[in-house]
């Protein structure tokens, strides 16, 4: 029985302890100064790409948000790339173009949907900027985001920048409350990784790339236009970092069903991304950020299977030693409960996504989450986003 308990403790550590250690390690790294030369006078030509498909519910909000940006208009290009919308999305964009002749705006329309990465690569051919920035249509920036973030890209070691996701409806349901708590943790970890080296996890709400370092979006065809694109940046031995000033705001689904759909899709993409990283490490094609990559491979690819062993040994112990059922009382402690619930959900999602990957279930084109119906003008006005 002692051997079983020891194994249980080992798998408990590999399932949950390693996450806690990673959190503490990256949290400690946050206090470190940036090893970056930030040039506040760096004002390059930029191109902003906004991919769209049937966005009539939110496109007006996005346009109003872009109009509030304080970056010099003569240095800014906006490109909408539409994947053959069947609603009034393109009509509203055309109206915006006609009413703002002083702004450099282009509307590109694909003849069919080929997926977000494909749309971004089509738009990339029309970009004039030295910095390429991507933003999903349901994500909103602060007016000074470009002025605050672009100076980081003046450093020659930085190839790409992303920002933390903030929820506009964080308190609307238990689902959004849990997601908000999870985001605070993951954003802290990404910031710590960035201070040490690079982060592998980018967000579509705001991601900026040096044009010279960007051959294409998602060059290895992982299906992830953000994390998949970071692979190409690190392959050039440049850093990909998350900075707090690049924060963006969006809404999140209020139901577990919609949350799981989003997480499964994301997990399916990450499996492919980490498979590419592993291959590049073995071939010696990535020189920097090796430790960050190995750590993430362990957390996202190995730990879910350790979790299965942990569950099996936990059930065995509860059957052989009934008092161990008291371990479930941990779920009554609020902070511990949220940590355990989100960890368990993420592990189950990753395991399910492994099954989808094995059976070659792909996610080529993106779908609008139902959460967009939750977005209101009042939310955006209160935050000063429109």
Question: Taking the CA atoms of the chain, what radius of gyration do you get in angstroms?
Answer: 22
**Among 242, 262, 267, CA closest to 252:** 262
C-beta atoms surrounding 221 within 10 Å: 14
| Residue 80: half-sphere exposure toward Cβ, Cα within 13 Å | 27
**Among 316, 29, 332, CA closest to 192:** 29
211 φψ region: left (φ > 0), alpha (ψ -120 to 50), beta (else) = alpha
Contact 108, 169 (CB under 8 A): no
DSSP character at residue 300: I
339 φψ region: left (φ > 0), alpha (ψ -120 to 50), beta (else) = alpha
- Decide the pairing of beta strands 239-242 and 158-162: parallel
Burial 48-83 (b: 16+ CB within 10 A, else e): bbbbbbbbeebbbbbbbbbeebebeeebbbbbbbbb
Q: How many Å apart are CA 285 and CA 281, to the nearest integer?
A: 6
What 3-state DSSP class applies to 363?
coil
Q: What local confidence, expressed as pLDDT, does residue 365 receive?
A: 47
C-beta atoms surrounding 192 within 10 Å: 23
DSSP string, 132-153: EEE--TT-EE-TTHHHHHGGGG
Q: What local confidence, expressed as pLDDT, does residue 138 receive?
A: 94
What 3-state DSSP class applies to 242?
strand
Q: What local confidence, expressed as pLDDT, does residue 48 receive?
A: 98
Q: What local confidence, expressed as pLDDT, does residue 325 receive?
A: 66
Return averaged pLDDT per consecutive 10 residues of the chain, 386 residues in all. Answer: 75 81 84 91 97 94 96 96 93 92 92 89 96 96 97 97 96 90 91 94 95 96 93 96 97 91 90 94 90 91 90 81 67 68 87 85 56 86 94
**Among 260, 298, 292, 86, CA closest to 178:** 260
Contact 80, 119 (CB under 8 A): no
Domains delineated in the chain: 27-289+374-381 (3.90.550.10)
**Among 39, 34, 38, CA closest to 195:** 34
Q: Tokens for 172?
A: 């609307």
**Among 240, 232, 259, 274, CA closest to 117:** 232
| Strand intervals (E) in 220-281 | 239-242, 248-250
């Amino acid at each position: 029985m002692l051997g079983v308990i020891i194994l249980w403790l080992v798998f408990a550590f590999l399932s949950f302890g390693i996450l806690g250690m990673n959190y503490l390690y990256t949290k400690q790294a946050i206090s470190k100064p940036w090893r970056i030369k930030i040039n506040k006078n760096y004002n390059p030509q930029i191109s902003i790409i906004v991919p769209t498909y049937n966005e009539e519910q939110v496109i007006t909000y996005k346009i109003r948000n872009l109009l509030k940006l304080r970056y010099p208009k003569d240095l800014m290009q906006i490109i909408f790339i539409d994947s053959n919308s069947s609603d009034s999305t393109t009509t509203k964009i055309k109206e915006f173009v006609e009413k703002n002749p002083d702004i450099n705006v282009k509307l590109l329309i694909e003849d069919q949907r080929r997926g977000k990465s494909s749309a971004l690569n089509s738009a990339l051919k029309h970009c004039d900027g030295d910095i390429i920035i991507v933003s999903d249509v349901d994500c909103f920036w602060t007016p000074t985001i470009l002025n605050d973030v672009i100076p980081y890209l003046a450093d020659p070691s930085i190839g790409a920048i992303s920002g933390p996701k903030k929820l506009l409806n964080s308190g609307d349901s238990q689902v959004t409350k849990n997601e908000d708590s999870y985001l605070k943790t993951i954003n802290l970890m990404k910031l710590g990784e960035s201070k040490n080296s690079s982060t592998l996890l980018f967000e579509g709400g705001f991601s900026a790339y040096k044009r010279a370092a960007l051959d294409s979006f998602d060059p290895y065809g992982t299906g992830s236009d953000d994390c998949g694109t970071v692979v190409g940046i690190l392959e050039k031995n440049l850093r990909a970092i998350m900075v707090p000033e690049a924060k963006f705001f969006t809404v999140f689904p209020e139901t577990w069903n919609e949350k799981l759909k989003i997480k499964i899709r994301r997990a399916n993409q990450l499996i492919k991304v980490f498979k590419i990283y592993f291959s590049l490490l073995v071939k010696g094609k990535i020189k920097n950020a090796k430790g960050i990559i190995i750590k993430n491979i362990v957390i996202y690819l190995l730990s879910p299977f350790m979790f299965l062993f942990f569950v099996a040994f936990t059930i065995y112990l509860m059957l052989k030693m009934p008092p161990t059922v008291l371990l479930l009382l941990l779920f009554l402690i609020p902070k511990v409960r949220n940590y355990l619930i989100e960890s368990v959900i993420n592990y189950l999602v990753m395991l399910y996504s492994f099954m989808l990957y094995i059976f070659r279930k792909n996610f080529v084109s993106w779908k609008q989450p139902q959460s967009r119906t939750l977005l209101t003008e009042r939310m955006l006005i209160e935050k000063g986003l429109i």
